[in-house]
Amino acid sequence: MERKGYFGPFGGRFVPETLIPALEELERSYQRAKNSRKFKEKLNYYLKNYAGRPTPLYFAERMTRELGGAKIYLKREDLLHTGAHKINNTLGQALLAMEMGKRRIIAETGAGQHGVATATVCALFGLECVIYMGEEDMRRQKLNVFRMELLGAKVVPVSSGSRTLKDAINEALRDWITNVDTTYYLLGSVVGPHPYPAIVRDFQSVIGEETKRQISEIEGRLPDYLIACVGGGSNSMGFFHPFFEDKEVKFIGVEGGGNEKGNAASLCEGKIGFLHGSKTYILQDEEGQIRSTHSIAPGLDYPGVGPEHSFYKEVGRAEYVKVNDREALEAFEILSRLEGIIPALESAHAVAHCLKLAPRCPKDTIIIVNLSGRGDKDISEAMEVLRSEQT
Amino acid sequence: MNKLDALFSDDKLALIFYLTGGEFPLEETLKIVEILVESGADCLELGVPFSDPLADGATIQEAMQIALKRDTSLRDILELAKEISKRFQMPLLLMGYYNPFYQYGLSRLCQEAKERGVDGLIVPDLPPEEAEELIESVRENDLRTVFLLAPTSDEKRYKIVGGVTTGFIYYVSVKGITGEREELPKDIEEKVPRIKEVTGKPVAVGFGISKTSHIRWLRDFADGAVVGSALLGLLRKYEGETRFKVVRDFVSSLSKETIKTIGLKGFVE
């Protein structure tokens, strides 16, 4: 049997002793909630009536015709409340926190999407909310900072290290170590110490479960390919996982290939190590120091990846590729023009890989791209880059 | 031979100091260590810089950033350990996060550490359940393990940690990260004797220890005390000869308070 908290050789619980009892408590509480009909009903109620589930599985007819190959479907997580898949997880974990009697919620955020989704559910349930965010990210994402504050959250600037997402996670963990009795740490991706990767995966699996039902209804069969972007890897894991046993369905995870200055492709370019409590693929130097990363999509800009993805890579269940900034921007424009859907720059990475793959496939091939978020948050960044290229 | 085996005694609290390796140039570091030894330090914990030290507060984070900017590698820290153990007899510990140790190779690390006079390893993000490989390498090279217990740990944890500790147990005084504190939680007085009773291992208390009053209190029920951020704070605040004098005075003032006043046994057999 597998070691507890591991996916093959990956995962585990590499954290200071102070947190071990808290993680054990979290694991017990989660097991209870997972088996509780009442908990599931409550979560489903909010997913449906508050977040807007189920999301459509949309046949991208023009894009399919233009590319002249596989049939392309988009799973529309961008239509959820707050504009991305993140709310699936924050609703689940906020309900879990309340089951555990914790009313102070902390979270990390990079670009602010998870921070906004956390602040949103805290407002909904009347919970205290503290969001850690790197100073550098706060500067780049002023609007999201304001959005979180508007929702009643306190945003704490993180000035240590590279002042980005990884440092925000360090600081959130430090807060948790200090206030562990009263505080629930609402992690935003399938990373961190056990049981977080499993909890976040389970709450995001609604994406894949719905997709499976929808495509079976529309096409009467399962798809050939699932494509999703991978930063920490929560939207892709939630999308892939329900298809794990369906070996005919191929998974492709798309990482941030960045530019000549750097990348965020932990699975393609990293090596095995330990970060934020788990054993997984990590971008690091020869000395084991964590490398700074770059991607035009802030949600992909992270030097680690969920341990279950490392496992999928190891056993060959999923293929991981990278798409660079340039290709992601092109896909961002193409999807906008062909389908009237402006994707998040993260999701544009998945679209970009689809643009490469679809024309090479026979017409009866089915590809589903998980459109994890909408692009409103990226408009000004994209405008700057695209305009500067025109001049 | 392992110098840690003789660190603790029934009549004196062992004073353990923490320095981040590579924060200062080699000669300066050796001078600081010399002053620590002369003023009454019993043991040195040498910190290995890491980019993401999640158990550490601002003072040690900054020390690690400085050391990394000076391109300090684990190999450099091992060389520093060699220079220290050549000159001074006191036990020497390496404290570092798991990833740099793992990338270096645990077996190679332990072998080279032993050759350079290191006596034990502390890895704050490696609980016993994940430490099988490290424990094996430590044992093979006659080093000692130091595992941590925290205010959140229950008796089940005491047993797990006690079962794999061959050096001493590092009791984390507070729920929190490293850094100076005015007051220490009162319950340390009950927890430390209980940990000693359950595990049969010596216990040193760390995190927040910065004052003579802390030492005076701890000496009658703990076996050791670890001082880190308070020392680093002084080293950063002062320069030149003043710095050395301030450190000498600080360490001496703590050292004076280490003699146990009641006949408590070092640990329960």
Q: Report pLDDT for A386.
A: 87
Residue A4 has pLDDT above 90, yes or no: no
Instruction: Determine the residue type at B215.
Output: I
The pTM assigned to this predicted structure is 0.96
Residue B264 has pLDDT above 60, yes or no: no
Q: Do A20 and B177 touch (CB under 8 A)?
A: no
Residue B10 has pLDDT above 50, yes or no: yes
Q: Do B52 and A275 touch (CB under 8 A)?
A: yes
Residue A17 has pLDDT above 80, yes or no: yes
Is B56 one of the catalytic residues? Answer: yes
Residue A58 has pLDDT above 90, yes or no: yes
Which residue of the set B5, B28, B34, B56 is catalytic? B56
When pLDDT is cut at 50, 70 and 90, the band that residue A1 belongs to is: very low
Name the minimum distance, in Å, from the CA of A91 to any CA of chain B: 27
Mean pLDDT of B66-95: 97
Domain spans, chain B? 19-255
Q: Report pLDDT for A380.
A: 87
Mean pLDDT of B107-111: 98
Spatial neighbors of A382 by CB under 8 A, at least 6 apart, are A329, A332, A345, A375
Q: Do A15 and B125 touch (CB under 8 A)?
A: yes
Q: If you count them, how many residues does chain B have?
A: 269
Mean pLDDT of B127-153: 98
Question: What are the chain B neighbours of A22 within 8 Å (beta carbons)?
Answer: 152
Q: pLDDT of A106-141, one tens digit each? A: 999 998 999 999 999 999 999 999 999 999 889 888
Predicted complex ipTM: 0.94
For residue B177, give the nearest of A177, A273, A274 by CB distance: A177
Q: Do B103 and A288 touch (CB under 8 A)?
A: yes
Mean pLDDT of A302-325: 98
For residue B55, give the nearest of A16, A180, A286 by CB distance: A16
Mean pLDDT of A16-36: 97
For residue B124, give the nearest of A16, A161, A181 by CB distance: A16
Class of domain B19-255: alpha beta
Residue A364 has pLDDT above 70, yes or no: yes
**Angstrom distance (rounded) from CA B27 to CA B6:** 28
What's A112's DSSP letter? S
Mean pLDDT of A227-247: 98
Q: Report pLDDT for A160.
A: 87
Identify the CA nearest to A109 among candidates A86, A81, A77: A86
A282 → chain B, closest CA residue: B99
Residue with the two structure tokens 């040193």: B204
Mean pLDDT of A19-42: 97
CA A60 from centre of chain: 23
What's A153's DSSP letter? P
For residue A17, give the nearest of B100, B101, B148 by CB distance: B148
Mean pLDDT of B70-82: 97
Residue B162 has pLDDT above 90, yes or no: yes
Q: Report pLDDT for A328.
A: 98
Mean of the per-residue pLDDT values of chain B: 95
When pLDDT is cut at 50, 70 and 90, the band that residue B156 belongs to is: very high
Residue B267 has pLDDT above 60, yes or no: no
> Which has the higher per-residue pLDDT, A119 or A386?
A119
**Helix, strand, coil shares, percent, chain A, to 5:** 50, 20, 30
Contact B65, B14 (CB under 8 A): no
Residue A290 has pLDDT above 90, yes or no: yes
Q: 10 Å Cβ neighbour count for A173?
A: 27
When pLDDT is cut at 50, 70 and 90, the band that residue B269 belongs to is: very low
- Residue A40 phi/psi, 5° resolution? -65, -40
Identify the CA nearest to B36 among candidates B238, B260, B259, B244: B244
Q: pLDDT of A147-170, one tens digit each? A: 999 999 999 999 988 888 999 999
Q: Report pLDDT for B263.
A: 56
Mean pLDDT of A305-331: 98
Q: Do B172 and A289 touch (CB under 8 A)?
A: no
* A 152-181 residues inside an 8 A Cβ radius of B: 160-161, 166-167, 170, 173-174, 177-181
* B 122-181 residues inside an 8 A Cβ radius of A: 124-127, 129-130, 147-154, 157, 161, 172, 175-177
Q: Report pLDDT for A381.
A: 86
* Preceding peptide of A298 cis, ω within 30°: no
Name the minimum distance, in Å, from the CA of A8 to any CA of chain B: 14
Q: Report pLDDT for A2.
A: 58
Spatial neighbors of B67 by CB under 8 A, at least 6 apart, are B20, B21, B22, B23, B49
